Structure 1
């Protein structure tokens, strides 16, 4: 498994999602969403999941944290739901039918669930396990070590720990009924500081 094994879709929605993420995210958060897509695709390959909508997965991965950006921060909705609605608007512009736009919203919302049943939503499952790896260090030893190091070398973590902790803590303080509060309560700050990929001497 190598980085060049995974190619971003060349569709209108995928390109637009990538451009939006690059325009609004800091370098650390942009690298996070790109890594999340790569981890998701790697888990799909490792687990031999052949029923994946790769355009949906990529578009959702690029936009899954756009709701913590001030320009898209919603006064009441959780950041993942706000980001999901950004994805609905973007994919509507790309010509997706209503049912598929809803899938983008579902995948982004479900990435913040404690777990997702792949039989119910394989793309939501893949994004959940991928972000679990990148934020909490879950399954950090499952993917091939050489591949992980190649991804980290190309898309380094930079100041992700500080930035993500600050953004999610702010979300939790203003919207305590949302998943952000659960993340803070479950120790996301400590998980990021002690993340195995933060301290890998070969990363």
Structure 2
């Protein structure tokens, strides 16, 4: 690991190093590069906006944000975002991290795919969401400094990311597609499994046990 990339110092405490080891052990190159890009994109956006945020908490959030897609941390019945958030909480509790900081990390990970909510939360939450949006969907691509963007991608290559991330998402929750009801990951299931019929909110209302 480099000490600094695109003007952002990479956290190197015992906590940060142990978190890196977990992602390296249970993730793959796709998740490793993506998670580090997300951290750097978010940190730079926070720096440029003069936001006050904890760099290490943002880093831990980024490293754990997709860990719920891995076999080691995937539950049989929870959203993958919650699996990652729970894994981060258990990890941080081992280091006596303050409860308030743990809640921030949990929220950042659990809400990182929640459009319309995460961007209005605390800086660590909104910056993780922003970093994910830029790396996955190109949100704010033209506004982000091109030289910094290129430096980040050089350090953590995309390597056919656009083609590989959708099947990687699906692989992480294909055993529990019902957990994508009401969130954007339902689009992934429909894309990868065209015959899948997702739960419909209106049908839930009309077929509820209420008489009227």
User: Normalising by the residue count of structure 1, what TM-score does the alignment of the two structures yield?
Assistant: 0.82
| Alpha-carbon offset, residue 12 of structure 1 | 2.6
Q: 2 CA distance for matches of 1:180 and 1:146?
A: 37
- Matched residue, 1:127: 128
Q: 1:117 to 1:67 in 2, by over 3 A?
A: closer
1:178-189 → structure 2 map (5 Å cutoff): 178=180, 182-185=184-187
Q: Which has the larger radius of gyration?
A: 2
SS in 2 for 1:44: helix
**Is contact 1:169–1:180 with CA below 8 Å preserved after alignment?**
no
Q: Which residue of 2 aligns with 1:136?
A: 137
Cα distance change, pair 177–4 in 1 and its aligned pair in 2 (3 A):
closer
Structure 1 unaligned residues grouped into runs of 5+: 190-203
Match of 1:91 in 2: 92
The number of residue pairs the alignment matches comes to 188
Q: In the alignment, does 2:81 pair up with 1:80?
A: yes
Alignment root-mean-square deviation, CA: 2.5
Change (3 A) 1:132 1:156: same
Which structure 2 residue ranges, 5 or more long, are not aligned?
192-212
* TM-score normalised over the length of structure 2: 0.79
Q: CA deviation at 1:100?
A: 2.3
Counterpart Cα distance in 1 of 2:183 and 2:163: 17
Question: What does the per-residue CA deviation read over 1:20-60, in whole Å, with 9 as the maximum and x for residues that have no partner?
Answer: 111121112100000000000110112121x2011111110
2:12 aligned residue: 10
1:35 alignment partner, one of 27, 31, 37: 37
Aligned to 1:25: 27
